[in-house]
Amino acid sequence: SGFNQPFPNLLSVDSPASDPAITAAGGTTTPISKSFGPGTPPLVVPTEQVWGWDYLRDYFIEVIGSPDENAFFPLGSGGGVSIFWPAPWYQTRTAGIRVTEPGQSLIFDDGSGPQHLLELPAGFAGRNLPDVSLDADPFSGFLVYSSLDGGLLAGYGGTSFVAPQLNGVSALLEQAAGGRIGLWNPMLYRFKNSYAKSASSPLTDIVTGDNWYYAGRPGYEPGAGLGVLNVANLSAAIANERASCH
């Protein structure tokens, strides 16, 4: 539970991110080391990992003991498998693509007893998301300047910050390429498979952390997707591919 309110133990994904024609944004936590005062150990995240605040939960348990289970909000990156969109062709040859998990029920309880509203299908070969990730954890995230709110503000994040970054990256890639590059997803999955673990790969695997369910691992996983973009390498890969086609 979070904020003293129940939430369903349900894996689901959202539209429009689940649409195969959308590049879905996932989130990571970049390396951090924070001190919360004298006599307390530092909070350390040594390497970039899938964003999920269970690492904060573990830190608080270590420092202050087990808190009230209703006092902590289980925040993190979204990700999972669609029950509506089948896996698109560009995902079918990528290792790590998942099917929907068993035992997923939407249950509502207003105090009069649980009501099963929806049973989600297990084993459905649906669209996996996210596709790629960037830093989204507010603890490792962004500074915001707002003249209305007193100037420089810290502690902002979320995949809502990743999506506009991807828009900006797309504009830079198109500028470098001298024209439109179209839908990202087919080339991202193609590059993931063809470059593998090469130093020139446009995608860096995220192999630690989790989003409370899906853990980081080599290859694709619904925590960080294909991984974190190396934008310079992605631009070079696009240029190399275009040159080979002419």
Q: Name residues whose C-beta falls within 8 Å of residue 168's C-beta, 6 or more positions apart in sequence.
A: none
pLDDT of residue 1: 32
d(CA 107, CA 117): 6
Q: What is the pLDDT of residue 70?
A: 53
Q: Is 214 helix (H, G, I), strand (E, B) or coil?
A: coil
How many whole angstroms from its chain centre is CA 218?
A: 15
Q: DSSP class of residue 94?
A: S
Tell me, what's the pLDDT at 37? 78
pLDDT score for 62: 82
Structure-block tokens of residue 58: 């573990």
**Nearest C-alpha neighbor of 212 from the set 65, 50, 31:** 50
- pLDDT of the chain, 246 residues: tens digit per residue: 333 344 556 788 989 999 999 999 999 999 999 887 788 888 999 999 999 998 988 888 888 776 655 556 678 899 999 999 999 999 998 999 999 999 888 777 777 877 777 888 999 999 999 999 999 999 888 888 878 877 777 778 888 889 999 999 999 999 999 999 889 999 999 999 999 888 999 999 999 999 989 999 999 999 999 999 999 999 999 999 888 776
pLDDT, position 216: 95
Q: Is 107 helix (H, G, I), strand (E, B) or coil?
A: strand
Query: Which residue's structure tokens are 């989204």?
Result: 136
Three-state secondary structure call for residue 119: strand
Q: DSSP code of 89?
A: G
pLDDT at position 96: 93
On whether the CB atoms of residues 141 and 135 are closer than 8 A, the answer is yes
Residue 49 is predicted with a pLDDT of 97
pLDDT at 3: 37
Record the tokens describing residue 112, joined without a space: 């009069």
Q: What is the DSSP secondary-structure string of 158-202?
A: SHHHHHHHHHHHHHHHHHHHTS----HHHHHHHHHHHHTT-TT-S
